[in-house]
Structure 1
């Protein structure tokens, strides 16, 4: 594979092919299934990358013969609010050389492995602004170039004396995940990418992409999005509280929820301890414009709907406040035990059951703009969440 590429581009190895080839998504593409029942999508499809059920496994992949590669430049449009995740991956068939384009801290990151060299470069403009950006990946001799919106963003030079001459072979390409073990990455990252790609040109290759998830339905890329986590009413996100490393001093614990609650319906959050007993739940009904708080054996209903709620846990005291005013104020003999902040579970968008694997069905429908625990914004990508949830984007109403 490397020899074939060097013949084209003067020594860049599979790097340029990998970097340049992963893109090709435009509207109006026809979707069909192959003889194995796998969904096949043409190279000019629009794809929502945020719908894998396996963390590292790609959403879609394709294989091409290197002899079919006619171009060393690819372009595509990309849009996301997600600051971290894999956009695309490529390698030779055995994975001896590979390339990854990802976001890290909202800016592009390229990781390349070739022969005896492993390199990672991060830089360029922030792309997690929810706008469509034109991306171009190409090679010039031993350099891989990334341009964003017509301006140079990254230049990666790479050369090895140990490259083997291989003039034939296959190239594997993948969207939204990788095809090697994640331990091989130089810089660890979270792979989930809540973003879309479209309008691409992939080295003039015409082979369709195969959906790794088989016959799964494609989630659409919405015309207009806003920041937040969208819950469509079919699942929820669960955090092990121990992983959040919540310090629960005598001052207590605060949880802040933000969003247009008048447009939501279902369970905002629930909390249970290590014994699986439900300690708290907060549900919203947009038909009656009420909220129901269940706190131990206490149930409190309020008709106040706001855009920012603060849950305040103190010893022998619990409150829900808005702009400093308590809309639920309960001095009680009940208290959320300290052990819950070490061993419990916090669910966003659904009701935790009292059995180990039990869950309620009153799932949230709506957009949570933020969930902040002890001053730290929760990232839904760090939870055990239903695949239907969009971690970083919501539809604009």
Structure 2
């Protein structure tokens, strides 16, 4: 089993083993509280779900406040007939999108204002006969009409609701999307239900920041790993591969690993002004950064690594271009496989406002592995200013 495969297995089994340790079911909470839709391992399963008899429902109407900087992800889901008829509200490019499956009909419609501006918006979803209506801040944004000879006008049985995920197979989607949603919901009124909702056992309930700005927030407890073969590659040998990072941070910024090579880019220790040593393999390298970085450029050339235009590692025995194309682990925020003590001491803490690889913005939701504590698209305006 090769190095990448071992690391991936560890990443994937870790959350599963944790889930086994605390039981297969989550807790129950009120869906009217402030809810952070992020911070869980299962991307498609709702973080909260509930069900009710349709005979108890007086109005097919739900409204809630919603805030995000994330351009894409799942917000709200509902179905009847155990998923035969279903509905999902999501964002794509920051714009609301509704997808509906009913009898022989599949519908996808997108439109209205962008909602990923970091402001709170009042969203209302309601059914008006054969129409589904989405209002944003009391203004109708999307209206979808459905008619089929196979549909039933009278609804019976149960209705299921979910937040931040779906209860049907993603293969049923008319237009696939990335499900992870870094967003907050508050003040929800879900139909006329007052019951507690079941939580996903992999969801890590966390407070919502009172004020947010764009970026990816690392609280000092987790990391994000990409396989370099999934990232943009070499355009020209002269230019190499460029990684640009903007923000403010402390701790380990990034690490680059393959079967027989490991390189770590971290800060100077605040007490000793020496390079942080992290128990690296023989022949590996550790580089140091200033304490208050605002931007960093990391260049990978065929036989050298360059930090802020200064050569940091040179070798004729390694071809970094071939290694990048074949697949290395590029990790932001830590070093996969290091000891627990090192993780606690050196994990990245701060806000990475933007990460560019070959001038393309990198979305952490597309990573091979992302720790549940890392916020992909939002940072607190003040690191410790959180809304409980």
Which residue does 2:14 correspond to in 1?
A: none
Q: Structure 1 residues 291 and 309, CA, compared in 2 at 3 Å: closer, same or farther?
A: farther
Q: Structure 1 residues 345 and 83, CA, compared in 2 at 3 Å: closer, same or farther?
A: same
Q: Structure 1 residues 136 and 289, CA, compared in 2 at 3 Å: closer, same or farther?
A: farther
Which residue does 2:19 correspond to in 1?
A: none
CA–CA separation in structure 1 for the residues paired with 2:189 and 2:44 = 25
Moved more, 65-74 or 116-125: 65-74
Matched, 1:339 2:322: yes
Q: How many residues align?
A: 350
1:46 aligns with one of 18, 27, 34: 34
Deviation at 1:380, TM superposition (A): 0.6
Contact residue 71 and residue 94 of structure 2 kept, 8 A: yes
CA–CA separation in structure 2 for the residues paired with 1:364 and 1:186 = 39
Deviation at 1:206, TM superposition (A): 1.3
Contact residue 75 and residue 137 of structure 1 kept, 8 A: yes
Which residue does 2:135 correspond to in 1?
A: 147
CA–CA separation in structure 1 for the residues paired with 2:158 and 2:261 = 54
Contact residue 204 and residue 372 of structure 2 kept, 8 A: no
Q: Structure 1 residues 217 and 371, CA, compared in 2 at 3 Å: closer, same or farther?
A: closer
Which residue does 1:365 correspond to in 2?
A: 349
CA–CA separation in structure 1 for the residues paired with 2:307 and 2:118 = 32
Contact residue 301 and residue 320 of structure 2 kept, 8 A: no
Which residue does 1:391 correspond to in 2?
A: 376
Deviation at 1:290, TM superposition (A): 6.7
Contact residue 64 and residue 207 of structure 1 kept, 8 A: no
Deviation at 1:62, TM superposition (A): 0.3
TM-score between the two structures when normalised by the length of structure 1: 0.81
Structure 1 alignment gaps of length 5 or more: 1-34
Deviation at 1:249, TM superposition (A): 3.2
Matched, 1:169 2:165: no
Matched, 1:307 2:290: no
Deviation at 1:115, TM superposition (A): 0.9
TM-score between the two structures when normalised by the length of structure 2: 0.83
CA–CA separation in structure 2 for the residues paired with 1:179 and 1:73 = 19
CA–CA separation in structure 2 for the residues paired with 1:222 and 1:359 = 28
Deviation at 1:44, TM superposition (A): 1.5
Contact residue 66 and residue 171 of structure 1 kept, 8 A: yes
Contact residue 265 and residue 288 of structure 2 kept, 8 A: no
Matched, 1:266 2:240: no
Structure 2 alignment gaps of length 5 or more: 1-22, 383-388
Matched, 1:380 2:364: yes
2:172 aligns with one of 166, 184, 187: 184
Which residue does 2:225 correspond to in 1?
A: 238
SS in 2 for 1:258: strand
SS in 2 for 1:94: helix
CA–CA separation in structure 2 for the residues paired with 1:112 and 1:359 = 48
1:128 aligns with one of 111, 116, 119: 116
SS in 1 for 2:82: coil
Contact residue 51 and residue 59 of structure 1 kept, 8 A: no
Deviation at 1:156, TM superposition (A): 0.7
2:93 aligns with one of 105, 117, 124: 105
Contact residue 216 and residue 377 of structure 2 kept, 8 A: yes
Deviation at 1:163, TM superposition (A): 1.4
SS in 1 for 2:320: coil
SS in 1 for 2:50: strand
The CA deviation string for residues 189-248 of structure 1, in whole angstroms up to 9 with x for no partner, is 01100001111222221121111217x652111211111111112221110111114235
Contact residue 303 and residue 320 of structure 2 kept, 8 A: no
CA–CA separation in structure 2 for the residues paired with 1:50 and 1:176 = 8
Task: Indicate the RMSD between aligned Cα atoms, in angstroms.
Answer: 2.7
Q: Structure 1 residues 38 and 318, CA, compared in 2 at 3 Å: closer, same or farther?
A: closer
SS in 1 for 2:209: coil
Which residue does 1:80 correspond to in 2?
A: 68
